[in-house]
Amino acid sequence: MNQYTQGTPEYKKKQKIMEAQIKGYTDVQTVQEAKQLIRFAYTREGIPLRYTKMGAFIKVFPA
């Protein structure tokens, strides 16, 4: 469930977190974006995530 207002950056990050939990991963564009998503997930939601770089792709997984 997403308690953030639709269209805000927090809402988009929460959508990415839910995608990572449901699909088992989510794609991001940069390492910085991955780190911000991981930090947001852990501090705001208590969800541990990790990222890995596979060639040109950066994937975020549940830890």
Q: pLDDT for 42-57, tens place per residue?
A: 999 999 999 999 989 9
Give 36's pLDDT tier (boundaries 50, 70, 90): very high
Residue 1 has pLDDT above 70, yes or no: no
Q: What is the reported pTM? A: 0.88
Structure confidence at residue 4 (pLDDT): 86
Structure confidence at residue 3 (pLDDT): 81
Q: Which two tokens stand for residue 24?
A: 């088992």
